[in-house]
Structure 1
């Protein structure tokens, strides 16, 4: 027998695991002997020849098991010296020893989000994920990854993949009337991420940020976190009352396509007045275009950004509102003077979108699947809206139903929002009072009705219950 190949004096009995699978069984037996110190650190393993004779397996089976132990760091194989157990086994690097057995505490269950939820009547102001074609999405992600190869997974694109930004810019030119190019687009994880970037990059403590009243609560809170003074501007039938905008404000946040939550469209005259104010005050306008894809009666107005000859509008959009909530991909169209500071903030916070989702969206947009999905989902949401309005009949007043994912239901005179929401909860309905969205403005009692993430059967069943409450 050659030097270093003599059998170890340590007897390793044939393990029972060999009967299930010889190579895996041999590996598990040797690894177990190392971990329980039957083979202590520094000891030499028997030669594969002698162990093969003892265990009645082929030498090749044991060579494969030895190679695996070597690759995982359990043993060292040196020509002429045999195979020896490493001084420090791998588990000692990743598992700290326990001085005593500590009983594990029970895990507290996650509490459901108390805000907007899918399939909860009538707080479901979000897209219906069941309408999304998962097979097409899977093909788009696979095709995108296979087309670009591993290089794109290593490249750093803080603003988002150039291909995705080009597709977004093309979509905005075709469907939102905007003249923008790919280098103006920054990919985000959604509207709130965009607002956070804007607050961090544009606002300084003490600045005035104007918001709609009633309006989108997260915008108000994010601007306040940046140290801004919040100035609430009332909303009228034509949208934001631009006559009340202060000259000293730093920015104004608006939802011109479908005001959140009242649902009216900002009139053209007020859009022009808003842009004129921004130019005079050297201020920025933040356009939240969160659900402009869904209009049920007429074609939508072009985006406010399309009128922005002075480059004062920061446009925010999101795929989370028209594909599915868990996607977490949005975008901004940023004025050139703000682009560098926005990217610095984005890199510092580290909030970026994964390459696979971006590549999937590139293919989804390029193939036309996105526009096809919008057409199909728009028809489905219109049918659900019509079914709900039919359940309510003509005995109630609604507004904002011409577009978007929700409308406002105005309550009968003398009915309080809190009392009505409590009675609705008793019959399984979750309603949000309009007063929750107001800052200083006092409006008649009303509730927000979300319907898009409900099935037709749910809408008809719960719609009748809502009608009975009215």
Structure 2
């Protein structure tokens, strides 16, 4: 036998499934051998010639089966090196976890904090933790701990470590156009923590809190739990409709950089109108800047807070949205008049961030690792977005210019709930746009998260999503008939 043409040491028996259908049977037999590790990761498959002789099928049948395994990410075919099993078993890396229908239906943004999950198509509206440099993070934590004495570990820092607050203020001045100082920054565990502090500090029972409609459901619920009357404001192509803001409201919550969930950017004229309303009504504006770092077409607008001459905006940011979800470190930039009362609420709850993560972030920001990570992850997410859009030719989408998700609009008359249930049957977990609406009625659509998915997942499940959308389109159905 010639060098380089040796077949696999595994003697794969002829499968019974070949009798039912040779090409499908060969595919299923090889796929099963990979999944049960009879063909382990990195192992070489027999050549199609030798396997054709062993299984008594044509070589063309096996070539078709090998091509299908390659297209679905099970194997790699390299000229001169043969066909080898990929390092990661696709079902663990591509397919959504096998779960009951009840478990899939539980993935809803307004029912559970676990609604958004990594690696689950297409609710993966999270940063991809695999892009995060753990070794660099470990070095930052180590350097941070070694650089401080026991006094830092023993001291109480209710607003957060002074060095971290200074690094955050410097980043916001450089990259978000804000004029802020370290004493305006308060460290939190994330945006929900910030919203909870704001709700329990500023809202009295019966106060009016304005929210976007559709919008971020946890914000609405947190304000409601604090006793607020929720006033939903509809969203147009320019963002929040500021003409609907009542002068009696206590605060307004907005996501101006990439509206959650529709994805548009709040226009400059609307931003100025919102700030003018806040000054006239002596109300507060809560700016949730959850994914502004990810803009793929143009540079993002500066933060709303950068225009805040009257000091009426409470800015909320989070490292959980751009580093990794388990970090649990966020921050607020607060008006000076509110700092003492917000800190009092923070100390009362005792819900503060551990000093170790804060020290690590100080080093991560100081040495430029944070900006480098943003640059690399932005490129990766843009490639994933582009790959997914390529799987959806002709499908109407919006909000795709930035952020961690976009909206896929369904054919007119499509039942959102039924579409999501059919998607669950083929391994796709979708969130209906209607779940984000409070009172407004919008055309049918679903939210598509893609950042915590691999390119293999996106291509595999993107094709399935397109087939579903195509099947729901009456015009295309008539053409096919």
**Fold in common (TM above 0.5):** yes
Find out whether 1:343 has 2:343 as its counterpart: yes
Q: Secondary structure at the match of 1:320?
A: coil
Alignment-derived partner of residue 207 in structure 2: 207
CA distance in 1, matches of 2:161, 2:310: 27
**Structure 2 partner of 1:430:** 429
Q: What is the match of residue 216 of structure 1?
A: 216
Q: 1:299 Cα shift? A: 0.3
Match of 1:444 in 2: 443
Distance 1:285 1:116 in 2: 26
Structure 2 residue 285 is the aligned partner of structure 1 residue 289: no
Alpha-carbon distance in structure 1 between the residues aligned to 2:413 and 2:160: 52
* Higher alpha-carbon deviation: 166-175 or 142-151: 142-151
Q: Partner of 1:75 in structure 2? A: none
The equivalent of 1:405 in structure 2 is: 404
User: Hey, what's the Cα distance between the residues in 1 that align with 2:119 and 2:149?
Assistant: 39
Displacement after TM superposition at 1:162 (Å): 0.0
The equivalent residue for 1:300 is 300
Give the deviation of 1:415 after TM superposition.
Answer: 1.1
For residues 296 and 352 of structure 1, the distance between their equivalents in structure 2, rounded to whole angstroms, comes to 34
What per-residue deviation string (whole Å, max 9, x for no partner) do you get for residues 208-249 of structure 1? 000000000000000001000000000000000000000000
Q: Does 1:190 align with 2:190?
A: yes
Deviations 1:160-194 (A, max 9, x none): 00000000000000000000000000000000000
- Residue 144 of structure 2 aligns to a residue whose secondary structure is helix
Question: In the alignment, what sits opposite 1:419?
Answer: 418
> Who wins on radius of gyration, i.e. which is larger?
1
Kindly provide the CA deviation profile for residues 239-266 of structure 1, in whole angstroms up to 9, marking residues without a partner as x. Answer: 0000000000000000000000000000
Q: CA deviation at 1:349?
A: 0.1
Aligned to 1:464: 463
The alpha carbon displacement at 1:414 in A equals 2.0
SS at match of 2:233: strand
| 1:140 Cα deviation from its structure 2 partner | 0.1
Q: Which runs of 5+ in 1 are unaligned?
A: 1-110
Structure 2 Cα separation of the partners of residues 398 and 195 of structure 1: 30
Aligned to 2:139: 139
Instruction: Give the deviation of 1:413 after TM superposition.
Output: 1.5
Q: Deviations over 1:84-143 (max 9, x none)?
A: xxxxxxxxxxxxxxxxxxxxxxxxxxx996500000000000000000000000000000
- Give the whole-Å Cα distance in 2 for the aligned partners of 1:239 and 1:414: 25
Q: Distance in 1 between matches of 2:433 and 2:149?
A: 50
Distance 1:415 1:432 in 2: 14
Structure 2 Cα separation of the partners of residues 252 and 357 of structure 1? 31
Report what 1:238 is aligned to.
238
SS in 2 for 1:221: helix
Name the structure 1 match of 2:358: 358
Match of 1:80 in 2: none
Deviations 1:296-338 (A, max 9, x none): 0000000000000000000000000000000000000000010
SS at match of 2:391: helix
- In the TM superposition, residue 149 of structure 1 has moved relative to its aligned partner by 2.1
SS in structure 2 of the partner of residue 209 of structure 1: strand
1:321 corresponds in structure 2 to: 321
Q: How does 1:26-65 map to 2 (within 5 A)?
A: none
CA deviations on 1:18-73 (whole Å, 9 max, x unpaired) are: xxxxxxxxxxxxxxxxxxxxxxxxxxxxxxxxxxxxxxxxxxxxxxxxxxxxxxxx
Distance in 1 between the 2:366 and 2:282 partners?
38
**Are positions 1:251 and 2:255 aligned together?**
no
Give CA-to-partner distance per residue, 1:339-383, whole Å, 9 cap, x none: 000000000000100000000000000000000000000000000
RMSD: 1.1
1:393 offset after TM fit, Å? 1.1
**Secondary structure of 1:392's match?**
coil
Q: C-alpha separation between the residues in 2 aligned to 1:151 and 1:364?
A: 22
Residue 196 of structure 2 aligns to a residue in which SS? helix
Q: Output aligned runs, 1:149-168, within 5 Å.
A: 149-168=149-168
Q: Distance in 2 between matches of 1:406 and 1:251?
A: 27
Cα 1:114–1:345 shift into 2, 3 Å: closer
SS across alignment from 1:248: coil
> TM-score normalized by structure 1?
0.76
**TM-score using structure 2 length:** 0.74
How many angstroms does 1:155 deviate by? 0.7
Cα deviations by residue, 1:360-409 (Å, 9 ceiling, x for unpaired): 00000000000000000000000000000001112x10000000000000
Residues 434 and 368 of structure 1: is their aligned pair in 2 closer, same or farther, counting only changes over 3 Å? same
Describe the SS at the equivalent of 1:211. Answer: strand
Q: How far apart in 2 are the matches of 1:302 and 1:237?
A: 19
Q: Which residue of 2 aligns with 1:91?
A: none
